Each structure stands twice: as C-alpha cells, then as structure tokens.
Chain A
Amino acid sequence: MVRAIAILIGAGFVAVLSWALFWSIQGVITDPPAPTAVDEFHLHPKEVELASNGFFGTYDQRQLQRGLQVYKEVCANCHSLKHVAFRDLTQLGYTPAQVKKFAADWSVKAKQFDPKSGDTTERPNTPSDYFPTVYYPGTGNPPDLSLITKARHEGPAYVYSLLTGYTDQPAALLKKFPDAKVPDGLYYNPYFANLNIAMPPPLSQDGQVTYLDGTKSTVQQNAKDVAAFLTWAAEPNLPTRHAYGLAVLGFLLFFCILAYGAYQNIWRDIKH
C-alpha cells in the first residue's frame, strides 16, 4: 500500500520534471542562449604577487604605508573607509604621535551633533575616530573600501587588475555587439563585472603619487600598493591569524598522533 502511493507520488514528480525538461530542451533548441558581451569580454583578475598571499602571508609595512598614501591622495576624495579607525594605522608602523597628527590633519572632519541646538558642527579627528564617511554627489556610487577585497571574488587581485585594466573598448566587441557601445559618462574596463564602470581611471599616469620612501611611482606600483593597503584594511588580523593557524595545526597534528597511538594501544588486543 505504502509502495503504491510512493510510486504514484514519485511518478508524479518525474512527470512534472519531465514536462519541465521537455520545455527547457525545446527552449534551448529554438532559442539558444545568445552570448553576451560580458560573457566574451569579461576578464578574470590578473595574478598579482602580494605579501599577503599564501599560507604564510603577512603584510609589508612599507608597502602598506605607500598604499595609505595612494588611498589618501587618489581615492579618499570619493571612497570612504569607515570601518578603519585612525588608531589602527599604528599597525602600519606609525607611532601614536604620528597617528594623532595624521588624524587631526585629515581633511574630512568628524561630525558632532549638539542635541540642545540641533546643529551639527565639525571637529578635527582623534585617533579613536573612524575614517569619516565621504559623500560623493556625482554619478555612480563609489563603494566604501574597508572591505572591498573581501567583497569581490579574488579581491586583492581584482583591485589591482581593475586599476591597471582601463583600455579602449576593443573593436572586436563593437563589431560583434553593435549595441554595446560604452555609454556616455562610463569607461570601459574588462575587469569590471559589466565592462563599463562609472569611475574614471584614478591612476592615469606614472608619478601621480610621490612616495616618501623613494620607491619608483608607476601606475603598476601605485595599484599594487593600494591593493595591499586595502587587503590590510579588510583583514588587519591576517598575520595574527596565520601565526595562530600554524601553531594550532601543529598542536593538533601532535595531538592526532598521540590520539591515534592511544587508540591503537587500546584496541591492540581486540579483533575488530
């Protein structure tokens, strides 16, 4: 009895799915999915060597400082970094006094609300403040960059590729997809999800940022450094995490060996 009902219900599911399958196959045959410009021209991020890559990844403080400089001079006008506090910058190798000055000098001031008058005034930032939010009134929505390398697939490489990936729209694309001309106000970048990004190339020429440590400032270098800095901004605990990871895995390996020995020990005289 149970069998009969079960087979009936099962046949029902199979029938419904077969019907759906029929229409799916029919759909594929009569109206095959057309390739889109994105399918054909979107590029996977380039490989970039960063100190944070790999199991033993850590951060290069010098590089992070250069990256901070790139963020400050190039990106900070439009992009917020609201989850990073100024005090976190001591992780980049700055002293508390340097951090205090950096915070006080930061051009976007902290906002203060006076509940008595209802007014919002500004004051200089202190180290315990977070980078104040930047409001960009122009086209597009510049995302906050605190987590950008975790919010994108292969984030660090993505940031680097995007910043160095601006090119002219390939003629081949326009030939194959004549309707896919880059809209006005947007820029072609094959690393961006839908190929046309509202952000103009932020790193347009070498030497845009003059590094304080004398490193040669090229677009590639700037992109790499800011990618490293943003990787830190998203994951400041990475070096600690890797260090603890090695210790914990080592201990657990040791424990597994002991535990296996004890297990064999206890079962030695038992046929199983």
Chain B
Amino acid sequence: MASGNTLEVPRQDEPHHDGEPRRRDFLNIAAVAAAGVGGIAIVVPLINQMNPSADVLAQSTTDVDLSKIEAGQGIVTSFRKQPLFVRNLTPAEIAAADKVDVKTLRDPETLAQRTRGQKNWLITLGVCTHLGCIPQGITSGEDRGQFGGYFCPCHGSQYDTAARIRKGPAPKNLFVPEYKFTSPTTVTVG
C-alpha cells in the first residue's frame, strides 16, 4: 500500500489509485499549465521588441509643403526613409492620363483613383515596383520615357503621367501612400 511515508517510490506513471489522486493530478496539471501561461507571456515582449520603436514610428508621417511646386514640376522628398515623388500635373498631363482605356492597363486604375481629392497632385513612392530602383523623371531634365511620366533605367519600365506602368517588367503602378490635405498647400503623408 503506497500511502504515508514509505521508502518505496511509487510509480508515477500510474496516477490512479483510489479516488483521491484525481485532485492530486489536477494540482500538478495546474502548476504545469500556469508555467505554460507564464512561458507564453514572456515570449510576447521578446517578439514585440522587434517591432518599430517609438522614434521610428514618430518618423512614420511626413508633411509636404506644396506651395512652391508649379504646374509641370515635381519634387522628390523622403517618406519613411524612401523617395517620395510629389508632382503638380498640368492639364495636358491630366487629359493624357484620362484618355487611356483603363482595361488595357496591366494594373488598371484611373487617375482619379490614384489622387486623393485634388486631381492635379500626384503623390507616389519613387520606388519602381519591379525590383526597387528609383525611376527618373521627377526632376526637370530627366528622361520621362515615351509615356511622359517616369522611366526606370534599371530594366526599362515606363510609367505614364499618372505613374501607371505601361511598358517594361514592373507589375504594378507606382505606389500611392495614404495622405490627406491639411490645407490647400500642405499635405500629410502616412
């Protein structure tokens, strides 16, 4: 009989003797379960520390002043440490973009869909959607390709006046980030 203080070591892989050991097993299971909960809880901060830190998150929005950009001009600035193309489209460029039949595009989008609120302000990331080079065409004097938008020298992707991919290996149009106008001449991106 394995009760009271004996020298014999009971076999622990037979948990059931009389009715009472059920309570004993429960305590053991509860202890292991609590340890498990603790173990999982400790993993959370270890994983979360790799998420962007507060200073990086603080840089997650960029304000752009549009007042100095004339129609037909563009500037390149930095958004989340990547180039941001801010272009003031001329009426001719807008018309050229609207004339295109959306169904023929690799990544179908209208100019209206790619501008938030004001159709002449085209704000996109300056990162080619093929393999990540910076396309040319934002600064005056650069090659704008045969569609009058942007041209990527790495593998020849050509974007039109709405920064949509028309020719070349890029699969998607230049990415349009979230932005909103905080005044007629300022916009907050991100």
Please give the residue numbers on chain A whose beta carbons come within 8 Å of chain B beta carbons, in ascending order: 85, 87, 127-128, 251-252, 254-255, 258-259, 261-262, 265-266, 268-271
A85 in contact with B38 given A269-B5, A270-B5 (CB within 8 Å) = no
CB within 8 Å: A-B pair count: 51
- Do B55 and A271 touch across chains, with their CB atoms under 8 A apart? no
Determine the distance from Cα of A252 to Cα of B35 in the docked complex, in whole angstroms: 9
A258 in contact with B34 given A266-B28, A271-B5, A271-B7 (CB within 8 Å) = yes
Taking the complex as formed, is B104 at the interface, i.e. its CB lies under 8 A from any CB of chain A? no
Q: Is chain B's binding surface mostly helix, strand, loop or mixed?
A: helix
- Do A269 and B6 touch across chains, with their CB atoms under 8 A apart? yes
Determine the distance from Cα of A265 to Cα of B30 in the docked complex, in whole angstroms: 12
Residues of A contacting B37 with CB < 8 Å?
Answer: 251
Quick one: which of B9, B28, B37, B59 has the most chain A CB within 10 A?
B28
- Do B34 and A269 touch across chains, with their CB atoms under 8 A apart? no
- Do B28 and A265 touch across chains, with their CB atoms under 8 A apart? yes
Q: Is chain A's binding surface mostly helix, strand, loop or mixed?
A: helix
Interface string of B37-73 (1 = CB under 8 A from A): 1100100000000000011001100000000000000
Determine the distance from Cα of A88 to Cα of B55 in the docked complex, in whole angstroms: 10
The minimal Cβ–Cβ distance linking A264 to chain B, given in whole angstroms, is: 9
**Closest chain B residue to A247, Cβ basis:** B41
A-B residue pairs in contact (CB < 8 Å), sample of 30? A85-B58, A87-B54, A87-B58, A127-B58, A128-B58, A128-B59, A251-B34, A251-B38, A251-B41, A252-B38, A255-B31, A255-B34, A255-B35, A255-B38, A258-B27, A258-B30, A258-B31, A258-B34, A262-B27, A262-B28, A262-B30, A266-B12, A266-B28, A268-B24, A269-B2, A269-B4, A269-B6, A270-B9, A271-B5, A271-B6
- Do B27 and A254 touch across chains, with their CB atoms under 8 A apart? no
Determine the distance from Cα of A128 to Cα of B57 in the docked complex, in whole angstroms: 9
Task: Knowing that A258-B30, A258-B31 touch, tell me 6 more A-B residue pairs with CB under 8 angstroms.
Answer: A128-B55, A128-B59, A251-B34, A259-B35, A262-B27, A262-B32
The tally of residues in B whose CB lies under 8 Å from a CB in A reads: 24
**Closest chain B residue to A258, Cβ basis:** B31
Determine the distance from Cα of A159 to Cα of B15 in the docked complex, in whole angstroms: 63
Residues of B contacting A128 with CB < 8 Å?
Answer: 55, 58-59
Q: Which of A127, A252, A258, A269 sits near B10, CB closer than 8 Å?
A: A269
Determine the distance from Cα of A269 to Cα of B10 in the docked complex, in whole angstroms: 8
The minimal Cβ–Cβ distance linking B49 to chain A, given in whole angstroms, is: 14
A262 in contact with B58 given A251-B38, A270-B9, A271-B7 (CB within 8 Å) = no
Q: Which of A254, A258, A259, A269 sits near B3, CB closer than 8 Å?
A: A269
Interface string of B147-174 (1 = CB under 8 A from A): 0000000000000000000000000000
Determine the distance from Cα of A255 to Cα of B38 in the docked complex, in whole angstroms: 9
The minimal Cβ–Cβ distance linking B148 to chain A, given in whole angstroms, is: 30
Determine the distance from Cα of A3 to Cα of B7 in the docked complex, in whole angstroms: 43
Determine the distance from Cα of A85 to Cα of B53 in the docked complex, in whole angstroms: 13
The minimal Cβ–Cβ distance linking B84 to chain A, given in whole angstroms, is: 17
Determine the distance from Cα of A26 to Cα of B55 in the docked complex, in whole angstroms: 60
Which residues in chain B, 89-130, are within 8 Å of chain A measured between CB atoms? none
Determine the distance from Cα of A173 to Cα of B27 in the docked complex, in whole angstroms: 68
